[in-house]
Amino acid sequence: MSEILQKIAANLYEGEEDVVAALTQEALEQGFSPEEILADGLIFGMDRVGRDFKAGDLFVPEVLVAARAMQAGMDVLRPLLAESDVHSAGTYLIGTVAGDLHDIGKNLVRMMLEGAGFQVVDLGVDVKAETFVAAVKEHKPHILGMSALLTTTMPAMKTVIEALEQAGVRDKVKVMVGGAPVTAAYAEQIGADAYAPDAATAVEMARKLVE
């Protein structure tokens, strides 16, 4: 891999926002394509962040800082990627379920997914079942990800899956769930397709689901 792309990945890992943005611009001037910079610089760096986060070598604050650095690089590339119609890894619709206002975990998953090349539509927090259904119809995502941080809001996940079934769109989207009180057993019980205990696993699972 070229030296500048290695530098982008390394500085992203360290969370150096301004350096990543400047190096991304420099790589473009050196003739690298936006796709190359995205895959071999930004996504490569974010994959390392994901691995080390999963291994317990990095913690949420460091991952958030790295994700912001990735966003700084993406801000430079985004207009060019839009022009070149770059192939995204897939569309991922995400939101925290009705009655739940927690968003740190959801935001972390969103940033990691964007870092992995997914196009993410974030519906925010306290998202009602009908909002999820309408968004699935509008955006036609490959995956719908739901987060719940309270045991009292977990049943809302089942409500959304039932609403998708009633609307006739359940078979058109994979459903992934996560959040502190959520378990793999609960995911299976409510009929979700996948469960992710953390943001790094969410990216791995998402990649598998769109294969």
What total number of domains does the chain contain?
A: 2
Q: Point out the domain boundary residue: 56, 84, 112.
A: 84
Query: Do 105 and 166 share a structural domain?
Result: yes
Tokens describing residue 75: 């801000």
pLDDT tens column, 38-86? 989 999 999 999 999 989 999 989 998 999 999 999 999 988 876 766 6
Domain span at 102: 91-210
CA within 13 Å, CB half, 109: 35
pLDDT tens column, 5-49? 999 999 999 999 999 999 999 999 999 999 899 989 999 999 999
Query: Do 201 and 101 share a structural domain?
Result: yes
CA gap 28, 82 in Å, rounded: 15
Query: Do 108 and 63 share a structural domain?
Result: no
Order of all β-strands in the sheet with 119-122: 119-122, 91-96, 143-147, 174-178, 194-195
Whether pLDDT at 141 is above 70: yes
